[in-house]
Structure 1
C-alpha cells in the first residue's frame, strides 16, 4: 500500500521519518523544521494503521516495510536517503533497509527485536484501552509533564486515529531480530526500558554506533530536544 506522507523542505538529500507505535507523522513536528533548514527534503510517514494511512488487519513487519519502500519510490527521490525511525518505526526501518539502502540509518530507542506469538484478542483489547487513555491531551500532559501543549495535542490526535487491529497483527507472527548495517546509529535513553545494556552491546558488536542520552524519555526529542539534536550532528549540525 502507499502511505500518507507529509513532505517538507527541498534539497538533494532525503530524510525518511518513521514514528513509533501510536504516533504519527506529526510526532516529528519539532524535528522536521530543523531538518528542512539544514537543506534536507523530509518525508514524515504515517505507518499503516496510524494517522491518515490505510489500515490492514493482516499487517506484518514485512508488508509494513514494503509499504515504506514503495512509497519512497513513488516520491522519486533520486538522491541519497537517510532513515530515522523511532521504536516500532525503527524496526520497520531495519526491515526496509535492504531495499531502501539508506546512506545512514538512525534507530531511536529500539532494540531491533520484535517478539511474536501474541494473542490477538488480548492485544487488541490492550491497545484499545491505551488508545482511549492517550486520546486526551490533558491526560497525556499529566502522565508526561515534559510534553508541551503542542506535543500533547499531536500525540492525542495520533491516538485517536490509531487502529489496534492493524498493530496487533504485527505481533501475532514470528519473532524477528535485525542486524544493523555498517552506517547505523542507535540513539537510546539511558537508562532505557526498551534498549538494555546487552542490546546496546549487541548493536555495537554488529557494527553499529551507540549514543546515549542520560535521563531521556522513550520519545527522546520530546523530553531532551537539544540533547537529541546534539547526538546527531550528521543531521542537525
Structure 2
C-alpha cells in the first residue's frame, strides 16, 4: 500500500514523521517546517485509514509497517513517531534503519485482553465525533486555531474500521534495550507515560525528556520546548 506523504524542505538529511491514532501527516504542520529550517527534508506519512491514505479494514501492525516502508526510503537520519506512530516505528526499525529515533508520549504497554469489536468501534466512533473544530477549541485552550482545524479535518477522514482491525489484531510487544540512539519525549504530566514507566525506559537505555505543561501531542502549544529538546539531545 502506498501512503500519502507531505514534505517540507529539501535538505540532504531526511526526517520521517509518523502521526498518532486519529491524526494525519498535518499533525506535523509546525514540526515539519521547523526541521526544514534545520536542514532536514521532513517527510510525514498518512498511516492507513488516516488522512488521504487508503483504508485498511483488514489492518494489522505488519500491514502498517509494510505500508510505511513501501512509501519512504530506508535509512532516514531521524525518525519521529507520536503515540501509535511511535509503536509503528518501533516495529519498523529493523528494516527502516534510521540513524536516530524519537518516540513521543508512548508507553509501549501491551494491550490487555481481546476487546469485543463492538466496544472498540464504539470508542473510536465517539472519539472521532468529539474532535470537531468547535469542540477542540473549547477543550484544548493551548492549541492554535490551525492545530484545531487540522486535527478536526484528520478526525473527519479517520476510518474506524481500520482502527478496529488494527487494535484487535495487535498482540503487543516486548520492549528491549535500544540498538540505536533513542529518545522518548513525554508530556508532563502524561496520561500515557507515567514517571515510573519513564524510569523503566531509562533503565533500558532510552533517553527520556519531559515537556512540562504539554498535552499528548506534545508540540501543540509547546513547539519551542519540543524543538529545543530535539536540538539538545546528545545521541
TM-score range, shorter chain: over 0.9
Aligned residue number for residue 17 of structure 1: 17
Unaligned runs of 5+ in 2: none
- What SS does the corresponding residue of 1:177 show, helix, strand or coil? coil
Q: Is the 8 A contact 2:101 2:180 kept in 1?
A: no
1:34-86 per-position Cα deviation (integer Å, ceiling 9, x unaligned): 1111111111110111000111111111221121112113xxx7x64311000
Q: Does 2:123 correspond to 1:126? A: yes
What's the counterpart of residue 139 of structure 1? 135
Deviations 1:9-42 (A, max 9, x none): 1122100000111010001111111111111111
Give the match for residue 106 of structure 1: 102
State TM-score, norm by structure 2: 0.93
1:22–1:158 contact (8 Å) kept in structure 2: yes
Contact 1:182 1:208 in 2 (8 A): no
SS at match of 1:220: coil
The unaligned stretches of length 5 or more in structure 1 are none
Supply the distance in 2 between the matched residues of 1:130 and 1:192 (Cα, whole angstroms). Answer: 19
TM-score by length of 1: 0.92
Q: Give the equivalent residue in structure 1 for 2:159.
A: 163
Counterpart position of 1:181:
179
CA distance in 2, matches of 1:178, 1:118: 23
Q: Select between 46-55 and 174-183 the one with higher mean Cα deviation.
A: 174-183
